[in-house]
Structure 1
Amino acid sequence: MRLTKPYRHMAIPPSDYGDGFAARSGKRHLLTALALLAPIFTGVPQALAQQANQPGFDPRQPEKYFENQTERESQSRPPIKLPKIDRPSTGGDAKLQFVLRGISVIGAHAVSRERIAAVYQPYLAKKVSQADLAAISGAISDLYREAGFHLSRAIVPPQDIVDGRVRIQVIEGAIVQAELKGDGVEQFGVRPMLGPVLAEQPSRLATLERQLFLINGRPGVRITDTALEEIGGTTGRFRLIVYLKTWHIFSSFALDNLGSSSVGPWQTYATGAFNSYLAPGDALAVNLSTIANDLRELGFARLSYDAPVGVDGVRLGASVLYSAVRPGDARRLDSDITTTEAFEVRASTVPFLSQSSGLTLTVAGSFSNVSEHDIYGPWYNDHIRTASLTADYRLQDRFGGTNLVTLNYRQGLDVFGASHFGDDLISRNGASSNFSVLNLWFTRYQTLNSAWSLKLSAASQTASRPLFTSQQFYLGGAAFGRGYGCAEISGDNALAGSLELRFDQKLNFRYWTGYQLYVFGDAGAVWNDGYRLSDGLSLTSTGAGVRFFLPYDLQADLGVAVPLSYRAPDNERRSPRFLFTLSSAFRVCPERGRPRCL
């Protein structure tokens, strides 16, 4: 199914904008009437245009790009190598020597006496050897490790055995010192984050994992290696050594042709982030975006700041953004402009975090005003206030896969001048401030062998009622629908998925570190409130390409995508699209402003 008008011509409003324009000037009366009659002349019922939308651009697209960039940056960090200590040898003479009549265990506090007694109970009243005693101490050590006390162990100290009674000593190990190695590490607030590790007696592996991963996720910090040293022989007192790379300034630049024919397609993105300048562990970031070949089509700027609270993963932040979109299609004749002004406050926490899994919860409140006007006056002015809860979950399973799940619930609020149902200047008929939206994103990276892997992605959106245009789900572009322009279709509800097969090869050339060949297929559908999935618009595409990995975080992506189903207004013949992306990152280290610290 197809809609008749991908965008309005000569100030004719899209049919999904509603009929709230009747109170305007006489010329607007006439133009609105023509818009309502247009579907009749084309032989398409007016109701059909309500089932999904063809917006031409997404007013929040740059914002979504930079949010995804932050996620990509955190996911691209190599895994932390956790420190380990050698397990004591459990060997010994297997010759039976005496009858074991009792065992005295000293130094055991973290594990109950009953659990320890169950280990050596089968050996009592039997002849035992040195190997048996070593096995008993090894089993007690295993009890501690199973309970998470990774530095604790049991030993059989030198002793004179009298009346078949043996003494076993448990050394409940703890990390009592921390040594940080790297340039400027004290400026990033790393040492206080190891406080929970140093305070724990005995040490738990879960606490060490959590704090190391929290440090590795701090802006401008990356752990390159770790080590443990026992202080003064068999004392159970350990020194933790953490090797770090740090950078105060992070900048990135990207250029791609994944925009739309209305806004784009050549779009640029730039980021500048300043880490641990105002406070240890904070981040001040500036994001900018525009159209490479026509700066007037898009101007986007966002300023964000967040800082840690304590050492347990709590962060507070805020951001403000402004964007102005002037479509380069027929709307330019009427000097059409869509502006977005938004402010957000947020707080996040990390309930659990380990090498295999992690969960981050974020609550946020946002205030946004999205409006469109041209030479004839305003088309709409949405005032949107929302509260949201986001859960980001990561799981590495035993099948060689990494799963990333994001669940977001967004609730519209009727506060601070929010737009109401029936207001004249709203972007969608039926839209109201008290909407509810549930979004789900899922990605799985599946390793097949050393060279081959799969990336499986899916997304959905469910809305409680008609949404303002900026709150809809957009299909087409980088995530789903690479064979189409950005924001080719949109709707209140959505379902999308993609599958990408990858082949990676590392190279040892000075200016070329590797490449990745890939083939993909994707599909998606959108439909508006009150309709079913089968009533909406859908698109599918397939393609292939190659990604080049170059030194200093420089990457290039060349590909071809072929539309398979939906016929876009600017590509009725479904011709293949050439895809191009070029991105780079630049970091400045804290000492002497030295660049390229990673």
Structure 2
Amino acid sequence: MIREFVKKAAILLLIILPVFTLTFVPDNAFSAEQEETRIFIKDFKVIGNEAIKDERILGAISSYRNNDYTLEELKSIADIVTMLYQEDGYILAKAYIPVQYIKNDIVKVVVVEGELGSLEISYSKYYSQGHVCNFFSRLIGSAVNENQIERAILLANETPSMNVQTVFKKGEMPGTTDMKIDIEDTYPMFFDFEFNNYGNERVSKNRYTANFSMTDPIIGSTLSLKGTIGEQLDDSFYGGIDLLIPLNYEGTKLGMRYINSDYIVGSDLQALGIEGKAEIMGAYLSHSFIHSRNQKLKGTVGFDMKRVFSYAMGAQTSNDDLSVGYLRLDYDNLDRFLGKNYLSLTYSQGFEDLLGSTKLN
């Protein structure tokens, strides 16, 4: 606590003092008006940096050691440090040469990184303000980074029926900025009905589907239900339930699902009495490793138990009990030449004689 107070007091003092006036030791002294005066600089010392380490900053300006500089040239070196921060997404960071005494030919470069001070959240109709705040609260007290802000916005906007936008405003403390979060949300419940004639004529060409989903406005977990039937309930049936629970606000989610389906083959094969049933229960864990406007990378690890039965002429023709684990990576990106690109890699592994699964002979 004391360390943070001293740090902010030091930054405030440096801002209040004339920022671009140099004061040197007597044997190398010149005023701010004597900007053409040159002085030998052996090395640099960086103050106020936390987001980028000393080694990297000093490495970026190492070629400027052991040389003579004017005041304007020293300002240009500070601008190089600012650009280094900008390239890493620290859009509010600023480096400058403060008023100082040059000792041992070492000049100090001060960095004001532009910390996120506080959050101001607008009124939301349905979702709790705490739910929205949790996507951004971990960023408070750290240097504002546009990549981190963008990721937080995109993860928040994955919540169904909710859209957030952010605006920066002047911070209450020197060297900080506050962020206003505007929320647009609608009631987090969705229902629709579909019809298509893409089915197989031997089962049911016409299919009717109902979808329902509801999201908890407190933590953002979503329950989804789906049901599909043919022209008659006995022709074909598909029913699924899926529960998706956010485990944190960094893109990690736990999912659980259950699927049940059955069908009867009719038309010219009706006399054979062919029918099938399937039941799937599973759980999975996913995490968003990269989440930006131009690219996304998500990893999923899961486990399914599958039971599939087939019948013909009143007798069972197959009975498969499967226990399958899988790993999947999904990547997509957007570029100016190829447009939208997708890549999905999946590895599956069956487990013999696990939880009643079929034992291989």
Give the alignment's TM-score, normalised by structure 2: 0.76
Kindly report which structure 2 residues correspond to 1:321-336, keeping only aligned pairs within 5 A, or say none: 321-336=259-274
Counterpart CA distance in 2 for 1:308 and 1:112 is 33
8 A Cα contact 2:121 2:129, kept in partner: no
Aligned residues: 320
Secondary structure of the 1:189 match is helix
Match of 1:217 among 158, 163, 175: 158
Q: Note the C-alpha offset of 1:285.
A: 0.8
Match of 2:176 among 228, 237, 242: 237
Secondary structure of the 1:140 match is helix
| Correspondence for 1:190 | 132
Structure 1 counterpart of 2:282, one-letter code: E
Cα separation, partners in 2 of 1:320 and 1:110, compared to 1, 3 Å: closer
Counterpart CA distance in 2 for 1:140 and 1:412 is 54
Counterpart CA distance in 2 for 1:110 and 1:418 is 52
Counterpart CA distance in 1 for 2:240 and 2:177 is 45
8 A Cα contact 2:117 2:171, kept in partner: no
8 A Cα contact 2:211 2:227, kept in partner: yes
Structure 1 counterpart of 2:228, one-letter code: S
Counterpart CA distance in 2 for 1:349 and 1:144 is 28
Counterpart CA distance in 2 for 1:322 and 1:112 is 55
Q: CA RMSD in A?
A: 3.2
Kindly report which structure 2 residues correspond to 1:261-300, keeping only aligned pairs within 5 A, or say none: 261-276=201-216, 280-291=219-230, 293-300=231-238
Match of 2:185 among 243, 246, 260: 246
| Correspondence for 1:385 | 323
Secondary structure of the 1:210 match is helix
8 A Cα contact 1:230 1:236, kept in partner: no
Counterpart CA distance in 1 for 2:318 and 2:112 is 71
| Correspondence for 1:136 | 77
Counterpart CA distance in 2 for 1:150 and 1:180 is 22
Match of 2:245 among 301, 307, 315: 307
Secondary structure of the 1:262 match is coil
Kindly report which structure 2 residues correspond to 1:118-517, keeping only aligned pairs within 5 A, or say none: 119=61, 121=64, 124-129=67-72, 132-155=73-96, 168-181=109-122, 182-186=124-128, 189-199=131-141, 201-223=142-164, 225-232=165-172, 235-247=174-186, 248-276=188-216, 280-291=219-230, 293-374=231-312, 376-399=314-337, 401-414=339-352, 415-421=354-360
Counterpart CA distance in 1 for 2:148 and 2:40 is 39
Kindly report which structure 2 residues correspond to 1:35-74, keeping only aligned pairs within 5 A, or say none: none
Counterpart CA distance in 1 for 2:45 and 2:358 is 75
Q: Deviation digits for residues 457-482 of structure 1, max 9, x if unmatched?
A: xxxxxxxxxxxxxxxxxxxxxxxxxx
Secondary structure of the 1:98 match is coil
| Structure 1 segments of 4+ aligned residues over 4 angstroms from their partners | 100-105, 112-118, 159-168
Structure 1 counterpart of 2:191, one-letter code: S
Secondary structure of the 1:125 match is strand
Q: Which runs of 5+ in 1 are unaligned?
A: 1-94, 423-598
Structure 1 counterpart of 2:307, one-letter code: N
8 A Cα contact 2:311 2:318, kept in partner: yes
Counterpart CA distance in 1 for 2:54 and 2:282 is 53
Counterpart CA distance in 2 for 1:115 and 1:371 is 62
- State the structure with bigger RCO (CA 8 A, min sep 6), 1 or 2: 1
Cα separation, partners in 2 of 1:171 and 1:359, compared to 1, 3 Å: same
Q: Note the C-alpha offset of 1:265.
A: 2.7
Counterpart CA distance in 2 for 1:121 and 1:112 is 18
Counterpart CA distance in 2 for 1:149 and 1:98 is 33
Q: Deviation digits for residues 96-130 of structure 1, max 9, x if unmatched?
A: 6332445775423444445545538279424454x
Counterpart CA distance in 2 for 1:307 and 1:198 is 25
Q: Note the C-alpha offset of 1:180.
A: 2.8
8 A Cα contact 1:196 1:207, kept in partner: no
Secondary structure of the 1:379 match is strand
Counterpart CA distance in 2 for 1:365 and 1:356 is 30
Q: Note the C-alpha offset of 1:249.
A: 0.6
Cα separation, partners in 2 of 1:372 and 1:105, compared to 1, 3 Å: closer
Cα separation, partners in 2 of 1:332 and 1:100, compared to 1, 3 Å: farther
Counterpart CA distance in 2 for 1:188 and 1:296 is 47
Q: Note the C-alpha offset of 1:188.
A: 7.5
Q: Note the C-alpha offset of 1:394.
A: 2.0
Structure 2 counterpart of 1:195, one-letter code: S
8 A Cα contact 1:185 1:244, kept in partner: no
Give the alignment's TM-score, normalised by structure 1: 0.48
| Correspondence for 1:585 | none
